[in-house]
Amino acid sequence: ETIIGERGVKLSGGQKQRLAIARMFLKNPPILILDEATSALDTATEVAIQQALVELSKGRTTLVIAHRLATIKNANRIVVVTEEGIVEEGRHEELLTANGVYSKLHRAQFGAYVNGQGTRSPIAA
């Protein structure tokens, strides 16, 4: 019984995102394009939706555009794009060890990285 207003004008950014994701689940398309799909969500909701998106992505092509690296760390292929174009490409662990743009973004977002043994290692500034 919530009044959402014409074209959803009374919805918050997070509510609009959750509604768009729900519509995507109902449509069940063969290709998913997610552009900052969880950027306006609180952390708990983001985690729940990311888990659901992993399930929805199975068996279909999924293109994810994200600044939050936690959103894409499990991707089969990550492409790093800057104003110069594609500068790096690979899986999460490969890009971390390459010590390039992706690794720098990861350090900026998390302050540390997970090494091969699954423990956190400090990053030198």
Ranges of each domain in the chain: 1-67, 76-125
- Residue 99: partners with Cβ closer than 8 Å, 6 or more residues away: none
Quote the pLDDT of residue 112. Answer: 59
Q: CA separation (Å) from 32 to 39, 52, 58, 65, 125?
A: 17, 13, 11, 11, 38
Three-class DSSP category at 122: strand
Give dist(CA 68, CA 73) in Å, integer.
9
User: Is this model's pTM higher than 0.85 or not?
Assistant: no
User: Higher pLDDT residue, 112 or 24?
Assistant: 24
Instruction: Give the length of the chain.
Output: 125
Quote the pLDDT of residue 85. Answer: 95
pLDDT category of residue 123 using cuts at 50, 70 and 90: very low
Quote the pLDDT of residue 116. Answer: 47
Three-class DSSP category at 110: helix
Q: Cα angle at 46 between 37 and 67, to 5 degrees?
A: 50
Residue with tokens 């997070």: 14
Directed axis angle between helix 43-57 and helix 13-27, to 10°?
Answer: 20
